[in-house]
Copies of this chain bind each other. A is one copy, B any other.
């Protein structure tokens, strides 16, 4: 059951994602860790690693540590991003509990197309940019779910009279900041990607989505790529690409999710 976009099965994608998670917290990924994390027997892991190596997604030789190839790393990150997007949609918009959302996201992630993924990422950017939408979901839909359904008892329900913010307030001191302009070492929340379609896609695939936590570990220069920590994982980023990442000003964008 090969998943549409990279000729690789959902199971193999899961293995890649797991390896990525493990490498995020410890310096090496071993068969045993993978087996534990995925709740399969170690005997299932070995042949999976062979299949991955065959497809040139990891470097693997018997009884040795596992390393990503470039392509493998790309797929791992993208799968992870899909997972995060789906999980956040389920928790933040639909209000599903964390565990259930994880389970659902874990299986659906293999089937979300590139297109849908990009649009879901855009939706979160829009949500972050539009306090009214946020307000509607937090105070309208969530309240509804909690059983305070009297709002729905009329046919229609308008938020406008309930709005507790002055429309003119919105622009005050809330300019977004470029990632490359923040203090190295300080932690921010990504607000938006401001780039052409291709670069945008590349960034989203790598996990640069609204709400993600980012630290600029090394500013970088024209020759030297930036180093950032995205949701706890190190990544290199050429300066001209890092320029496209906009973050919320300090303390803003509270809708951070846990990784």
Contact surface of A with B, Cβ cutoff 8 Å? 1, 3-4, 90, 93-97, 100-101, 103-104, 107-108, 110-113, 115-116, 119-120, 122-123, 125-126, 129-133, 136-137, 140-141, 144-145, 151-152, 154-161, 163, 165, 167, 170-171, 174-176, 191-192, 248-249
Contact = CB atoms under 8 A, between A and B. Distances in A.
B158 A130 contact: yes
A178 to B, nearest CB: 13
28 contacts: A3-B107, A94-B120, A103-B113, A104-B113, A107-B111, A108-B108, A122-B141, A122-B145, A123-B141, A126-B141, A129-B152, A129-B157, A130-B136, A130-B156, A130-B158, A130-B159, A131-B156, A132-B136, A132-B158, A133-B136, A152-B192, A155-B171, A155-B175, A155-B176, A156-B170, A158-B165, A158-B170, A160-B160
A141 B133 CA distance: 10
A181 to B, nearest CB: 14
B171 A156 contact: yes
A169 to B, nearest CB: 8
Nearest to A197: B147
A10 to B, nearest CB: 8
A164 B3 CA distance: 44
A123 B155 contact: no
Contact of A156 (B108, B129, B145, B158): B129
B123 A93 contact: yes
